[in-house]
């Protein structure tokens, strides 16, 4: 099945200008408000890969601006394409939008292709951890879960658990009065672990 033919006419128009920058600026200018949620899910990975200036970058801006207004919807294929686009930009950006990656998992009605995503999710997680990019810890943990980095146990039912790989230890704990989970992360050091609830500072209470 040709995915392009499943897009709306407006999305096909945008797709062409994202993938064929040599054709110049579109005339008429595309109306991104006509894009469906599925259109946005298809176009966002293409937009995320677009660099530089010119017509294609203008189309990227149009897609990203619309995503700020409405939620995209992903197919398993476009979800995988998004993860691939995020990973492809790591060395250049020194960062990845893990909120976008985590959100795609929730907005994939056909089910996220977790087996295919696992290796890419691991690369994203390890890069973010290695560069101490913990601005969005919950989104990062969601992506890490897809990577299979939570094999130490059921973090949602266990009162306290630790999750470990070579460079970082993650501690999990719950605060009964708050009824929610708080993450704690830090470098894994011989003989020293990041503090967990009730064992020292570093946890919000």
Q: What is the reported pTM?
A: 0.72
Q: Please enumerate, as own/partner, the contacts of 87-92 that have beta carbons within 8 Å and a separation of 24 or more.
A: 87/120, 87/123, 87/124, 88/49, 89/48, 89/49, 90/123, 90/124, 90/127
Domain definitions of the chain by residue range: 1-73, 75-149
Looking at the DSSP bridge assignments, the partners of residue 181 are: 174
Closest to 61 in 3D by CA, of 43, 79, 41, 77 = 43
Written as tens digits, the pLDDT of the chain (205 aa) is: 578 888 999 999 999 999 987 888 888 999 999 999 999 999 999 999 988 788 889 999 999 999 999 999 999 999 999 999 999 989 888 889 999 999 999 999 999 999 999 999 999 999 999 999 999 999 999 999 998 864 443 333 323 333 343 333 444 333 333 333 334 444 333 334 333 333 333 323 2
> Residue 9 class from Cβ within 10 Å (0-12 exposed, 13-18 middle, 19+ buried)?
exposed
């Amino acid at each position: 099945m040709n995915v392009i033919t499943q897009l709306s006419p407006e999305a096909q128009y945008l797709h062409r200008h994202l993938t064929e920058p040599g054709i110049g600026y579109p005339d008429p200018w595309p109306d991104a408000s006509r894009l469906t949620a599925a259109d946005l899910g298809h176009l966002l990975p293409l937009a995320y890969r677009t660099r530089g200036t010119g017509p294609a970058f203008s189309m990227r801006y149009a897609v990203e601006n619309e995503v700020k207004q409405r939620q995209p919807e992903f197919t398993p294929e476009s979800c995988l394409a998004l993860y691939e686009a995020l990973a492809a930009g790591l060395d250049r950006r020194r960062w990845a939008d893990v909120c976008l990656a985590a959100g795609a998992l929730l907005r994939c009605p056909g089910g996220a292709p977790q087996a295919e995503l696992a290796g890419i999710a691991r690369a994203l997680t390890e890069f973010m951890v290695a560069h101490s990019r913990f601005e969005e810890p919950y989104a990062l943990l969601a992506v890490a879960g897809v990577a299979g980095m939570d094999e130490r146990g059921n973090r949602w039912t266990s009162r306290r658990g630790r999750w470990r790989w070579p460079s970082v230890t993650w501690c999990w704990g719950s605060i009964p009065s708050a009824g929610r989970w708080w993450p704690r992360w830090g470098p894994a050091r011989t003989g020293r672990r990041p503090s967990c609830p009730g064992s020292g500072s570093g946890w919000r209470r």
